[in-house]
A and B are shown apart, each in its own frame.
Chain A
Amino acid sequence: MTPLVERLAEAKRSGDIQGLFDIVPYSRFLGLSGRVDGDEIITTMKFAPHLIGNPALPALHGGTLGALLESSAIFELLWRAETIVLPKTITLTVDYLRSGAPVDTHARSIVTRHGRRVANVRVEAWQTDRATPVATAHAIFLVMRES
């Protein structure tokens, strides 16, 4: 096992979901945090001025929403998996539904299929009202152990 995988496994063993997030530098750059709510993992991107893509509206940068959705899917796979394998994104398709207001954004993922080599995940992101998502995505990951 690589050190990263060991640290992820340790965070999982101790139930420290935020520990998973803090290991990844880019997650810290985006200001991501995670919490378990019932049987869901909610990933939150805390609003900060450097996430803005359209200062006139203002609105979040589309790239930040894409990254939040992708990160949510990866953490879902890491948290649910029995043995830790770093998922590698094969494709990510993002539907941008409305502009992202300058407030916190939340995301949750559903693993629609987890095969031996590939996992399919659907993700949605929302802000104040969960019923009106700002963006959704579906992503496909390679989940094979490195041999």
Chain B
Amino acid sequence: MAEGDKALRASRGFVDAIPHNAALGFQVLEFKKAEVVFLLPYDAKLVGNPDTGVLHGGAITALLDACSGAAVFSALPALMPIATLDLRIDYNRGGDPGRDIKCRATCYKVTRNVAFTRAVAYHDDEADPIATSAGTFMLGTKQGGGR
């Protein structure tokens, strides 16, 4: 098995082992060092406006947050606990009803204590984003959520 396939297979734990990721139906499409692509399948239970069928911003928030966190894990040399410090999301446009949403997250910088991410949510074309985000993550947090 190629290294990339192994990493992708291992990365499915991000969905299977995390109840909220599983509840949202996330799929891991790509898992490379410092770069991860997730898929959020369209689901009526995640709709924000029942008139239009557009997904709620909260589902996009969860997608950007989870995918950004996974990108941090993929960038770290060893598995360690991390915690989101902040996440800023720009909603660029509503998603199209009935269409799945992808998210590509990049961990573009890792320092001793903090990792920095960017992510974009889109249907097919990253140049036509639904939402974009910038995040910071604290590294090596204690079990119990200490900083």
Contacts and interface: CB of A to CB of B under 8 A. Distances in A.
A25 B143 CA distance: 34
Contacts of A53: 18-21, 66
Contacts of A124: none
B145 A62 contact: no
A49 interface: yes
26 contacts: A23-B50, A24-B49, A25-B56, A26-B59, A28-B45, A29-B45, A50-B23, A53-B66, A55-B17, A57-B145, A61-B20, A61-B21, A62-B65, A62-B87, A63-B61, A63-B62, A64-B20, A67-B56, A67-B58, A67-B59, A91-B89, A92-B57, A92-B61, A92-B91, A93-B88, A94-B84
A131 interface: no
B20 A25 contact: no
Interface in B25-68: 44-51, 55-59, 61-66
Given A62-B65, A95-B85, A71 B58 contact: yes
Given A60-B20, A92-B91, 13 more contacts: A2-B51, A26-B46, A51-B23, A53-B21, A55-B19, A57-B143, A57-B145, A59-B145, A61-B19, A62-B84, A62-B87, A88-B91, A92-B61
Contacts of A51: 19-20, 23
B57 A70 contact: yes
A11 to B, nearest CB: 13
A70 B56 CA distance: 10
A4 B49 contact: yes
Contacts, number: 139
Interface residues of A, number: 43
Contact of A26 (B47, B84, B87, B94): B47
Interface string A66-100: 11101100000000000000101111111110110
Contacts of A2: 51
A83 to B, nearest CB: 17
A63 B20 contact: yes
A54 interface: yes
- A contact face: mostly helix, strand, loop, or mixed: mixed
A52 interface: yes
Interface in B67-85: 69, 83-85
Contacts of A63: 20, 24, 58-59, 61-66
Task: Assign chain B's interface to a size class.
Answer: 35 or more
A56 B85 CA distance: 19
Closest 10 CB pairs of A and B: A63-B62, A67-B58, A99-B145, A26-B56, A61-B20, A50-B23, A66-B61, A93-B88, A52-B19, A4-B51
A38 interface: no
Nearest to B55: A26
A50 B88 contact: no
